[in-house]
Structure 1
Amino acid sequence: MRQRHPATASSEHLVIVGNGMAGHRLVEALLARPERPARITVIGAETAPAYNRILLSPLLAGEMEREALTLRDAEWYAKQGIELVLGERVETIERSARRLTTDAGRELDYDRLVLVTGSHPARPPVLGLELPGVHVFRDLHDADALARAAEQGSNAVVIGGGLLGLEAAEGLRKRGMQVSLLQRDDRLMNRQLDLTAARLLENELRGRGLDIHTDAQLERLEADANGLVCAAHLAGGTRLAADCVVVAIGIVPHTALARTAGLEVNRGVVVDEWLTTSDPAIHALGECCEHRGNLYGLVEPIWRQVEVVAERLCRPNAEGVPGYVEKPTATKLKVSGVSLYAFGPTEAEPGGHEVLSYRDPQQGDYRRLLLRDGRLEGAVLYGDTASGPWYFEQALAGRDLTACRPALLLGAADAQLLLDDALNESPQRPAKEAA
């Protein structure tokens, strides 16, 4: 039996295109509000209901069952009175008629529309990339295909040394494959890590058996007599055997539907502070959107976008509804069992930053802090990341940490004690409070 909607719910028909993590998060946010639209339809191109893509890596490694990834099953949507359409892709949007059509011929009218179409894997311009045996690692279908490839072959080449490439490489290694990983930069995870942390990570992964090539330039992929990929050729003459190849070099926003509909598109679907597109009846959020030139791939800013859109959909005419504002974000990751935490610049500006660093080779811990005029601007933590949120909090507050500089690398507790002592001894505080 479907649940009754509150009497205050809007009578509008809202259609959400995209049943990924962001689309599902929006559904959850709307259901928490009494003014939500009474009729909500969710359309997903995949045949499975929304699932946690972050857990694709342990799924590939054989460390997790498929069912553990599901966020909500189809029955849950039905109980909430939400129409869930799976396995259909929206092909056209008639904005003047406020109607969309799927590849199955389904037509739906809408009052408001939200595009949460996500992204697709970027593909480098490399000869042979179209060969059978070349994969991406983005969804359940990809994870299944790679698991089958691991059963049938022994050598894999992974292109890309970011988070997704590392997780794909580790997953295939745990499946028993010999894996070569190619990174065109001089270090792994070059956007998050400085050179020291990247080398620590590289050494750890090499010790597990991964064959890592940094500064690697992929020239072409080779096919065998049956037309299947069999090797990767690097500049300089290196040939790497490959029964399968995984491309994991980044993502590109899904904008084809928005372009066809005539919406403003740059690199992503262009939106304003309320995540509204050039059509006031259509919003876009997540990996498919572009706000003030920024694209998105991290959970934190996308979750904030969800709250903005949910509030706008439930109170479209309310004054003072806050818009989306860019905020600094910290990256907290667990890469193949190694904890990392980073924010701010990865490299020190010569003459601009004071660099504090600490390394404990025995424990596998490393910290590097970048300060300017006593204020923290960037940090990289490898191994023990417990103090990461405290460092980030100080950076956001722009707090002068000169008083606790001697203890900064020891961690949050010691540094905070020195800060508190300095505050208690400050002559500018009222006498009663200082006492």
Structure 2
Amino acid sequence: MHHQHHTAHRTGEHLVIVGNGMAGHRLVEAMRKRLDDPLRITVLGDEPTAAYNRIMLSPLLAGDMDREGLTLNDADWYAEQGIELILGERVAYLDRQAKRLITDTGRQIAFDRLVLATGSRPTMSNIEGIALSGVHGFRDLKDAAALTAAAKKGGHAVVVGGGLLGLEAAEGLRKRGQGEMAVSVLQRADHLMNRQLDATAAGLLEAELINRGLEIHTGARLATLEGNAEGRVVAAHLEDGQRLPADCVVIAAGITPNDQLGRQAGLAVDRAIVVDDTLTTSDPAIHALGECCQFGGTTYGLVEPIWRQVEVLAEHLASQASGADSQARYVERPSATQLKIGGISLYAFGPIEPDADHDVLCYHDPAQGDYRRLLLRHGRLEGVVLYGDTAMGPWYFAQAQAGRDLGACRQALLLGSADADALLDAHDIRLDDHERPQKEAA
């Protein structure tokens, strides 16, 4: 025990991580794996609870999962690791010259190295009525609890946003409401999940959701939210003049990076805090990670690239702690999208709209609700949209990542990886075993 106490208070560098969400938490775990003698680490989180799996808020709302299932590590774990964890406090000021932070309680914390992992917030535009009670985001446990309570009361819910998050919130509300709550989704674009799906797949998804009892409005723009004398939301008004009754409104129309500290401290900020390929900001002592950072022209909302950022930054920080140079660099890679709604399978990656050079392959079985559309360029797979049977998804993704020429098996590409592999093998284009997807029972 004595050793444990000693490590927690060494005079080495003090690393401070602002943000105890999924990225900040995973960084701590990645650092623990790499360093025998841990740095002195302080983690600040403005939520009152320790890190949890935000991705699982949808099943939590739907009632398919309990709160325990979301816990990553509790406060005791941080204490056992000799890491100082400060919850329910927000960093109000970052003083780069003095290398210190000041929290909203007036606490001052000095740092040698700082990581900003402050995440994002719902894009709550300047819509009139946005501050009424009954209007929520779908970002945290507090939101999930409020929406669960609203669903049990019943009435009408309006979800603004027909992307991944909006649809998961809408279906969660419907399921939790057990028939007592009518749920409408407003999507500005002309089809659902327009960033991931083409019109055909989105049409299949919309039909399935309507069949379950959701009301879907595409090409719908929210104009204002109407409140009553008590300041509670009662209706949503659309730009076309429609009025939808609403006891509860969820804003899920995109996210805005929490880059306020970076701006205040004079770091380079564009749409988010600008970082290089080691996740370092314009100040060499300060790093940014996850939804609050921008690399090249890209900002982040999906977990897959953020996990890769964590590995690069952990490597970088651990190397510096031991005086070595890290070779790890962050590189943009495509990610595939999946939707967490029970009973609906879709898988998509790459461009959505084909261009003139694309070879488009399509398979559609309306009776089974199966749809596949592939975009190839010179025999190489670039974009995939799968709805219904998504078993081929990982195989397609592996081919696209490898940039493999699939011309030899073009006619079998829509059928199944076994047929396609056989044709590639006949042309002696073998996949290494580790690249083969595990053959799943269909």
Normalised to the residue count of structure 2, the TM-score between the two structures is 0.92
Q: Which has the higher mean CA deviation after the structures are superposed, 18-27 or 375-384?
A: 375-384
Q: How does 1:224-373 map to 2 (within 5 A)?
A: 224-316=228-320, 317-319=323-325, 321-349=327-355, 351-373=356-378
Q: Which residue of 2 aligns with 1:57?
A: 58
Corresponding position: 1:17 with 2:23: no
Corresponding position: 1:412 with 2:417: yes
Q: How does 1:211-222 map to 2 (within 5 A)?
A: 211-222=215-226
Deviations, residues 214-242 of structure 1 (Å, cap 9, x unaligned): 01122222223433211112233322111
From the superposition, tell whether residues 193 and 6 of structure 1 become closer, same or farther in structure 2 (CA, over 3 Å): same
Q: Which has the higher mean CA deviation after the structures are superposed, 139-148 or 319-328?
A: 319-328
In 2, distance between residues paired with 1:277 and 1:143? 33
From the superposition, tell whether residues 36 and 44 of structure 1 become closer, same or farther in structure 2 (CA, over 3 Å): farther
Paired residues of 1:375 and 1:395 also in contact (CA < 8 A): yes
From the superposition, tell whether residues 320 and 66 of structure 1 become closer, same or farther in structure 2 (CA, over 3 Å): closer
Q: Which residue of 1 aligns with 2:438?
A: none
Q: Which residue of 2 aligns with 1:376?
A: 381
DSSP 3-state at the match of 1:277: coil
Q: Which has the higher mean CA deviation after the structures are superposed, 149-158 or 206-215?
A: 149-158
Normalised to the residue count of structure 1, the TM-score between the two structures is 0.93
DSSP 3-state at the match of 1:415: helix
In 2, distance between residues paired with 1:403 and 1:120? 47
In 2, distance between residues paired with 1:19 and 1:115? 10
Question: Alpha-carbon deviation of 1:169?
Answer: 0.6
Paired residues of 1:3 and 1:79 also in contact (CA < 8 A): no
Question: Alpha-carbon deviation of 1:424?
Answer: 7.4
* Aligned-pair Cα RMSD in Å: 1.9
The one-letter code of the counterpart of 2:20 is N
In 2, distance between residues paired with 1:36 and 1:338? 46
* Structure 2, gaps ≥5 residues long: 431-442
In 2, distance between residues paired with 1:37 and 1:110? 15
DSSP 3-state at the match of 2:105: coil
Q: Which has the higher mean CA deviation after the structures are superposed, 21-30 or 290-299?
A: 290-299
From the superposition, tell whether residues 361 and 36 of structure 1 become closer, same or farther in structure 2 (CA, over 3 Å): farther
The one-letter code of the counterpart of 2:41 is I
Deviations, residues 22-65 of structure 1 (Å, cap 9, x unaligned): 00100110000125643111110001000000110111112221
Deviations, residues 343-382 of structure 1 (Å, cap 9, x unaligned): 1111111x31111111223332211001122111110111
Paired residues of 2:58 and 2:340 also in contact (CA < 8 A): no
The one-letter code of the counterpart of 2:378 is D
The one-letter code of the counterpart of 2:22 is M
Paired residues of 1:358 and 1:368 also in contact (CA < 8 A): yes
Q: Which residue of 2 aligns with 1:150?
A: 151
In 1, distance between residues paired with 2:157 and 2:301? 26
In 1, distance between residues paired with 2:371 and 2:101? 52
From the superposition, tell whether residues 36 and 402 of structure 1 become closer, same or farther in structure 2 (CA, over 3 Å): farther
Paired residues of 1:375 and 1:401 also in contact (CA < 8 A): yes
Q: Which has the higher mean CA deviation after the structures are superposed, 256-265 or 158-167?
A: 256-265
The one-letter code of the counterpart of 1:405 is R
The one-letter code of the counterpart of 1:200 is L
Q: Which residue of 1 aligns with 2:436?
A: none
In 1, distance between residues paired with 2:138 and 2:298? 24
Paired residues of 1:332 and 1:341 also in contact (CA < 8 A): yes
* Structure 1, gaps ≥5 residues long: 426-435
Q: Which residue of 1 aligns with 2:30?
A: 29
Paired residues of 1:167 and 1:336 also in contact (CA < 8 A): no
Question: Alpha-carbon deviation of 1:322?
Answer: 2.1
Paired residues of 2:171 and 2:341 also in contact (CA < 8 A): no
Question: Alpha-carbon deviation of 1:3?
Answer: 6.7
> Among the aligned pairs, what percent are the same residue?
66
